[in-house]
Amino acid sequence: MSKFLKQIHVNTLPGYEVVISDGLIKSCGEWLHKYFLTSCKIAVISDSTVGPLYLKDVVDSLTTWNFMVSVYTFEAGESRKNFTTLSNILEYLAAERLTRSDCVIALGGGVVGDMAGFAAACYLRGIRYIQMPTTMLAAVDSSVGGKTAIDLRAGKNLAGAFLQPSAVLCDLDCLKSLPRSVLLGGIAEAVKTGVLCDETLFSLFENGNISTDYGEIIARCVAYKAGVVERDEREQGERKLLNLGHTIGHAIEKCSGYTTPHGQAVAAGLAIIARSAERLSWTLEPIGNRITTCLAELGLPVVTRYTAEALADAALSDKKRSGEEITLVIPKKIGLCELKKIPVSELLPVIEAGLGV
């Protein structure tokens, strides 16, 4: 019997359900069979970290419900989110003779979701895929909204496609055994959501404790993101708000050669832009210290060892740049942010203003 069950509809065209519950790894075949898919071939894509933990249960459940299942795993890590892995997955799908009525499952964290989603978007010009996030970061953010991508040498997620999944099955049991640093990476994205739209959510994190009520945290983040994605699927406007902390966060990732995990980089990016916004008098209330303290007490980074020059240089190859302007997400107060376009020449002083605690 599930202890927590929430279903959130994402009203895109076509729309889909995000199911957040316990036990979904073991019952995925039943869920897919009853609600989302008729009998078909399914290629489950996973990585070397997640595969050994959950592939057996997923395959058993799918075969019990008469799906024809095959499995492809690749070496875990952001450095594998590249053309070589994409090409290997595409060749695998072709060798397995998946057709347009078949389906891919992304079983893993953000890298697996992005890779398998992009492969599904490319293969036969697009086949269905299901997201099964196994990390907090994938659960609160990357499994929902249809962004798929790989990294290029010039920067993160620079080649990709929008393709909404056919469903998202988020099993809360996967989160219980996550190493704390991996869990915290996802919590950083949840803190971001609190700053964007939900002071109650933000306050949950302020005492430095990570609530074990992960279902509620994920549901709040997904409900907000679903609304944003429904109104702006292709990131023409409002969806850019979800990039809060990401311009500097992606720059930190790039400067570190992608050894700094995404969530930790976003935490530092969020703290830096919050301090900078306050010092430049762009905020409605003093939030720099509040956001910095919240993240630091959780054990997330709030500073970076890279110089403002190195970060600005890295940020200017980010896709948030548009010609000679770049759009920043500025926190005004907890629960309210706005987009601000600045000339690229002003990015350096903005970053400089926020570097020191």
Residue 147 lies near ligand GLY (rule: CB under 6 A): yes
Which residues, 6 or more positions from 7, have their beta carbon under 8 angstroms from its beta carbon? Answer: 17, 18, 19, 20
Quick check: 184 binds ligand GLY (CB under 6 A)? no
**Shortest distance in whole angstroms from residue 172 CB to ligand GLY:** 21
Stretch that binds ligand GLY, among 70-78, 140-148, 255-263, 303-311 (CB under 6 A): 140-148
Closest distance to ligand GLY from the beta carbon of 74 (Å):
22
**Residue 242 makes contact with ligand GLY by CB under 6 A:** yes
User: What is d(CA 244, CA 327) in angstroms, rounded to the nearest whole number?
Assistant: 10
Is 245 among the residues that bind ligand GLY (CB under 6 A)? no
The string of DSSP codes covering 83-111 is HHHHHHHHHHHHHTT--TT-EEEEEESHH
Out of 26, 41, 239, 333, pick the active-site residue: 239
Q: Which is nearer to ligand GLY, 238 or 352 (CB)?
A: 238
Q: Cis bond leading into 14, ω under 30°?
A: yes
CB of 284 to ligand GLY, least distance (A): 24
Nearer to ligand GLY, 235 or 278 (CB): 235
> Is 125 one of the annotated active-site residues of the chain?
yes
Residue of 243, 254, 275, 290 marked active site: 243
* 198 is an interface residue for ligand GLY by CB under 6 A: no
Q: Does 145 bind ligand GLY (CB under 6 A)?
A: yes
Nearer to ligand GLY, 141 or 171 (CB): 141
CB 207 within 8 Å of CB 311: no
Active site residue 147: yes
CA distance readout (Å), 59 to 95, 172, 260: 19, 19, 32
Q: Give the C-alpha separation, 101 to 91, whole Å.
A: 18
> Min. distance of Cβ 196 from ligand GLY in angstroms?
11
Question: Residues binding ligand GLY: what is the number (CB under 6 A)?
Answer: 6
Residue 147: its H or E element: strand 147-152
Per CB under 6 A, the segment of 139-147, 168-176, 190-198, 206-214 that binds ligand GLY is 139-147
User: What is the nearest approach in angstroms of ligand GLY to the Cβ of residue 46?
Assistant: 21
Alpha-helical (H) ranges within 106-206 are 110-122, 136-137, 173-176, 180-197, 199-205
Asked if 246 is an active-site residue, the reply is: yes
| 225 among known catalytic residues | yes
Quick one: 239 or 319, whose CB is closer to ligand GLY?
239
Q: Write the burial class of residue 76 (CB in 10 Å: 0-12 exposed, 13-18 middle, 19+ buried).
A: middle
Is-catalytic flag, 9? Answer: no
Residue 73 pairs in a beta bridge with: 46
Give the C-alpha separation, 342 to 325, whole Å.
6
- Identified binder of ligand GLY from the candidate list 47, 141, 151, 171, rule CB under 6 A: 141
DSSP 235-280: -SSGGGGGGTTHHHHHHHHHHTTT-S-HHHHHHHHHHHHHHHHHHT
| 239 belongs to the binding site for ligand GLY (CB under 6 A) | yes
Tell me which of 3, 125, 153, 324 is the catalytic residue: 125
Query: Is 233 strand, coil or helix?
Result: coil
Q: Is 172 in the site for ligand GLY (CB under 6 A)?
A: no
Question: Nearest residue to ligand GLY, using CB?
Answer: 242
Other residues' Cβ atoms within 10 Å of the Cβ of residue 148: 26
Whether 239 is a known active-site residue: answer yes
Helical (H) or strand (E) element with 336: strand 336-343
Catalytic residues: 125, 147, 189, 225, 235, 239, 243, 246, 250, 262
Residues binding ligand GLY (CB under 6 A): 141-142, 145, 147, 239, 242
